[in-house]
Amino acid sequence: MTSNVVSITENSKKAQNAIETLQALVADDMAAVNQTILDRMQSQVALIPQLAGHLIASGGKRLRPLLTLASARMLGYEGKRHVDIAAIVEFIHTATLLHDDVVDESDMRRGKETANNVWGNKPSVLVGDFLFSRSFELMVEDGSLKVLKILSSASSIIAEGEVLQLAVIGDLSVDEDTYLQVIEAKTAALFSAACEVAGVIAEAGHEKEAALRAYGANLGIAFQLIDDALDYSAKQATMGKAVGDDFREGKITLPVLLASRRGSDEEMTFWKRCMEEHDQKEEDLTQALALITKHQTIEATVNRARHYGDKAKDALAIFPANEARKALEDIVDFCIERAY
């Protein structure tokens, strides 16, 4: 048991080092991205930069734009387009967060009040729309139809994923393939686009663009699987999020899906009452956590994430070994070891 604890602790330290290494590797470019974000979210309507800035300054790691910058660096790209492209990726991500928090009726994000909790739902939705519009302005300014196609397609796929997730809320008959379809759309699509566009602007060629697309997609799936596992983990509280939000909202994520499949008829009756009928009592979350622990579905979810993480690393094999490739490989471990 002790060796396992030591191993997990060491892995967590390595994972933290991975994000710090990636941030340091592209620090100058990231500073330029942050300046672009600040410049382009300005408006004469004071509430727009105020509300957008609340979320943008809330302590996120900027993982998606970091992937764009690191992918460009791995390819030896020496231009400047990657800075605006990375800003576009962050604007799209931020817009989706504003909309998600309204849909999910979230009160907290990264340990701070959500924008919708501070200013209300209507301003949050409209500022999200503003950020989407800004991202498309930047795409047009870049001038590449291929970049525009990749990023605009990702935006529409994300929206489809969110709608699909709404359609299957509380539906315990949903299968794992549909669950994966949701996370491929709502999360992996932007990870994939963030990496692929670096290949486009670096003129890396079809094969390498496809490899970057596969790396980002598999990393995004692994990332969301861990997010879904964390929602039922005590570590969630240390990340400024409430434990069990997905449970309270009736979201059928993999930990619940597996627990309901592996349990008794009596346990399925519990899940149906809580998730399908949305008839939840104060003590039901504790019972849900006990069933998830009993059937080891957090461990199963993390193992699924490791599988996709390995696929992400394998996709990078086509690229020459360099500092940026190593950072992109290591960031896979960061995304997975967040579970610990």
Chain mean pLDDT for the chain: 91
d(CA 126, CA 48): 9
The 3-state secondary structure of 272-335, one letter per residue: HHHHHCCCCCCCHHHHHHHHHHHCCHHHHHHHHHHHHHHHHHHHHHHCCCCHHHHHHHHHHHHH
Domains contained in the chain, CATH given: 10-337 (1.10.600.10)
- Give the pair of three-digit tokens for residue 5: 């604890």
Q: What is the DSSP letter of 56?
A: H
> 68 pLDDT exceeds 50?
yes
Residue owning tokens 């909790």: 117
The 3-state secondary structure of 188-255, one letter per residue: HHHHHHHHHHHHHHCCCCHHHHHHHHHHHHHHHHHHHHHHHHHCCCCHHHHCCCCCCHHHHHCCCCHH
CA angle in degrees (0–180, nearest 5) for 219-21-197: 45
> pLDDT for 192-249, tens place per residue?
999 999 999 999 999 999 999 999 999 999 999 999 999 998 766 555 567 898 999 9
pLDDT (0 to 100) of residue 15: 72
Hey, which bits of 27-169 come out as E strands? Answer: 108-109, 112-113
d(CA 1, CA 31): 43
> pLDDT for 96-128, tens place per residue?
999 988 887 777 676 678 888 888 889 899 999
pLDDT band at 11 (very low <50, low <70, confident <90, very high): low
With b for 16 or more beta-carbon neighbours within 10 A and e for fewer, the 76-88 pattern comes to ebeeebbbbbbbb
Rounded to two decimals, what is the model's pTM?
0.92
> pLDDT for 299-340, tens place per residue?
999 999 999 999 999 999 999 999 999 999 999 999 999 877
- Give the pair of three-digit tokens for residue 338: 């967040």
d(CA 3, CA 6): 5
pLDDT (0 to 100) of residue 110: 65
d(CA 37, CA 95): 13
pLDDT band at 139 (very low <50, low <70, confident <90, very high): very high
What does the pLDDT average to over 15-20?
A: 85
